[in-house]
Amino acid sequence: MNTVKDAFLPNLCWIIGNGKSVKNFDDRWIPYLPGFRPSSTARDLTPCIWVPDLLLPGTNTWNEPLLHSFFPAFEVNAILRIIISYSNDDDRLIWVKTKSGLFSSKSFYTTLLAAQASSSGTESSFPWYTFWKVTNCSPRIKIFAWRLLIGAVAIRAAISRFITNISQHCPLCGSAPETIDHLFIHCPIIQTILLASPVGFRVEDSNISISKLFTVWLQSNSTGETFRLGICLLWSLWKARNRALFDNKEFYISIVIKNALKVFNDYSVVSTDIFQSMRVDSAPNLVAPQQLHWLPPAEDVIKIHVDRAIGHSNSSCAAIAHNANCVFEGCGTQCNPLCSPEEAEAMAFLLGLQLALKMNFTTCIIEGDALNVIRCINDTSTPIPWRIRSIILHIRSLLPSFCSVSFVYVNRACNSAAHVLAKFASS
Ligand SMILES: [Zn+2]
């Protein structure tokens, strides 16, 4: 019974609407913190019980000095990432194990299985049949995954058994011996990579082993896409780790993710749900022919291109505005903490809207290449992934300030200026 409870409650998190239902110190409401709630014990010292008590009076802006008086810096930074929209929408309790935030018995079963496996303290039998049945994956990466399972990878803890005077410490974080489980699951570097990648996987079980992790991934979806992308990420991490160690090359999280996505994509026959959250570069049926080239807007209309970039340790977004005569009207950039590509895309659209407001563009078109975000903004019947819900609601709440504003998909090739600017902002 405890296992059921342990698998259920820690995976619920409030997504803040107006904040009125959520208690600052008791509820789980900060998606960017382990356990989703602050560790602060200041609850007994303050009348600030509810989330709106942490805002500047009459605004939707966080009261930063007040936050710093209650929470350590990393918790303040996590809270500042939460956007409070003007929409006065209700707070919503979501299930973090699905993209939509809606509870599903299948995802709960998978979570329960992982919790049971780790609480039993013994290795459950590994689903070898499912493992070998996975297709659409580079054979050499699958063999690499198999070598991880049988412990046949030359990590430092293994080598040091045979060679003395060799450091056992993880070369990436230096905080623990480099074992397979550490390097590929528990190291803060791989945890950041797994969370920031389209897998969006958060390692919550501090005892999970590589075979249990693979079991969870294999059971996540019938097409094995989580497993396939997951092992591409681990393989890409291993390659980058070796290049850093033996060739003195710089280690960049963004390049690990980029290389993993490339090899994942090379072997994927059809685009998958996971890949939908990345760029929609190859969607010819969704792009009208004229949108393959940059077109100036009509007279008195401003066109704003938006895009995002994932950097080494942060993400960034950019917005560039032009008028009907193709004359540059203004631009804006913003650096954010490392987040999922989808969150970064949504932030880019919000930045575009904020640029328009700041420059008093009341009639504008905002163009970007993130089709999933555009759908969420335009179509109120489209389920919003919980990770970008507050951003989308905030965007919608700003729309009444405009005479006319539309959000349009463009091919990535037409969006290169915004992409270059976003990349520049992240560097
Ligand atoms: Zn490490």
One domain, residues 89 and 215: no
**Residue 52 belongs to some domain of the structure:** yes
Residue finishing a domain among 67, 90, 119:
119
Confidence at 353, pLDDT banded by 50, 70, 90: very high
Q: 195 and 82 in one domain?
A: no
Q: How many angstroms is it from 187 CA to the middle of ligand 1? A: 4
- The verdict on residue 221 lying in a domain is yes
Distance 227 CA to ligand 1 centre (A): 22
The stretch 340-349 carries a mean pLDDT of 88
Q: Give residue-wise pLDDT tens across range 309-342.
A: 876 567 888 898 888 887 888 888 888 876 777 8
Domain range holding 141? Answer: 128-269
CA of 148 to the centre of ligand 1 (A): 16
Distance of CA 181 from the midpoint of ligand 1 (Å) = 10
Which of 70-74, 165-169, 342-346 ranks highest by mean pLDDT?
342-346
Say what percent of the chain tops pLDDT 70: 85
Q: How far apart are alpha carbons 22 and 350 in whole angstroms? A: 25
- CA 170 to ligand 1 centroid distance, Å: 5
Question: 86 falls in which pLDDT band (50, 70, 90)?
Answer: confident
- Condensed to tens digits (0 to 9), the pLDDT of residues 239-273 reads 999 999 899 888 888 889 888 988 888 887 544 44
Residue 283 scores a pLDDT above 50: no
- What is the dihedral sign for C-alpha 151, 249, 139, 135? positive
> Both 195 and 251 in a single domain?
yes
In terms of domains, do 28 and 65 share one? Answer: yes
Ligand 1 center–CA 118 separation, angstroms? 21
Rounded to the nearest angstrom, the distance between the alpha carbon of 372 and the centre of ligand 1 is 34
For residue 276, what pLDDT is reported?
40
What are the tens digits of pLDDT across the range 289-305? 334 455 677 788 999 99
Q: What is the pLDDT of residues 126-169, one digit of tens each?
A: 888 889 888 888 999 999 999 999 888 888 887 877 777 778 88
The pLDDT, as a whole number, for residue 116 is 60
**Range of 20-29, 267-276, 343-352 with top mean pLDDT:** 343-352
Pick from 32, 24, 18: which is nearest to 387 by CA?
32
pLDDT at 67 over 70: yes
206 CA → ligand 1 middle, Å:
14
C-alpha 177 – ligand 1 centre gap (Å): 8
Average pLDDT in the 200-225 region? 84
Q: Residue 238 C-alpha to ligand 1 middle, in angstroms?
A: 12
280 found inside a domain: no
Please give the distance, rounded to the nearest whole angstrom, from the Cα atom of residue 185 to the centre of ligand 1: 9
The per-residue pLDDT for 395 is 93
The least confident of 84-98, 203-217, 283-297, 340-354 is 283-297
116, containing H or E segment: helix 105-120
DSSP code at position 251: P
Buried residues in 7-38 as b, exposed as e (16+ CB within 10 A): bbebbbbbbbbbbebbbbbebbbbbbbeebbb
CATH number at residue 340: 3.30.420.10
CB neighbours of residue 167 within 10 Å: 12
Residues 77 and 153 occupy one common structural domain = no
> Quick one: 115 and 132 in the same domain?
no
Do 108 and 206 reside in the same domain of the chain?
no
CA of 173 to the centre of ligand 1 (A): 4
One domain, residues 12 and 145: no
Hey, which of 39-48, 207-216, 346-355 has the most confident mean pLDDT?
346-355
pLDDT recorded at residue 123: 52
**Shared domain check, 243 and 190:** yes
Which tokens hold the place of 396? 């919608």
Per-residue pLDDT, 312: 59
Category of 203 on φ-ψ map: left (φ > 0), alpha (ψ -120 to 50) or beta: beta
Which pLDDT band, with edges at 50, 70 and 90, does 343 fall under? confident
Query: Pseudo-torsion of CA 377, 380, 383, 388, nearest 10°?
Result: 30
Q: Which of 93, 119, 145 is the last residue of a domain?
A: 119
Closest of 292, 310, 178, 197 to residue 244, by C-alpha = 178
Ligand 1 centroid to residue 234 C-alpha, Å: 13
Higher pLDDT, 78 or 113: 78
Residues 136 and 115 placed together within one structural domain of the fold: no
Residue 213 domain-assigned? yes
Q: How far is the CA of 190 from the centre of ligand 1 (A)?
A: 8
**Total domain count for the chain?**
3
Cα 314 from Cα 387, distance rounded (Å):
17
Q: Which of 72, 90, 119 is the last residue before a domain boundary?
A: 119
82 and 132 housed in the same domain = no
In percent, how much of the chain has pLDDT > 90? Answer: 23
What confidence score (pLDDT) does residue 199 get?
A: 79
C-alpha–C-alpha distance, residues 394 and 397, integer Å:
5
pLDDT of the residue at 270: 45
Ligand 1 centre to CA of 101 (Å) is 31
Nearest to 56 by CA among 46, 65, 45: 65
255-259, 357-361, 416-420: segment of lowest average pLDDT: 416-420
Q: Which of 62-71, 83-92, 362-371 has the lowest mean pLDDT?
A: 83-92
Mean pLDDT of the chain: 81
Q: What separation in Å is there between the alpha carbon of 179 and the centre of ligand 1?
A: 9
Same domain, 240 and 151: yes
Cα of 197 from ligand 1 centre, angstroms: 18
pTM for the structure as a whole: 0.59
Structure-token pair, residue 15: 């997504």
Output the CA 178–ligand 1 centroid distance in Å. Answer: 7
Answer yes or no: is 114 within a domain.
yes
The alpha carbon of 240 and the centre of ligand 1 are apart by a number of angstroms equal to: 13
pLDDT digits (tens, 9 = 90+) for 181-191: 999 998 888 88
The answer as to whether 284 is a domain residue is no
> Mean pLDDT lowest for which of 1-10, 64-73, 101-110, 219-228?
1-10
Is 289 inside any structural domain? no
**Per-residue DSSP letter, 177:** B
Q: Residue 11 domain-assigned?
A: yes
- Give pLDDT, residue 282: 34
Q: Let me know if 403 is exposed, middle or buried by CB neighbors in 10 A (0-12, 13-18, 19+).
A: exposed
DSSP state letter for 415: G
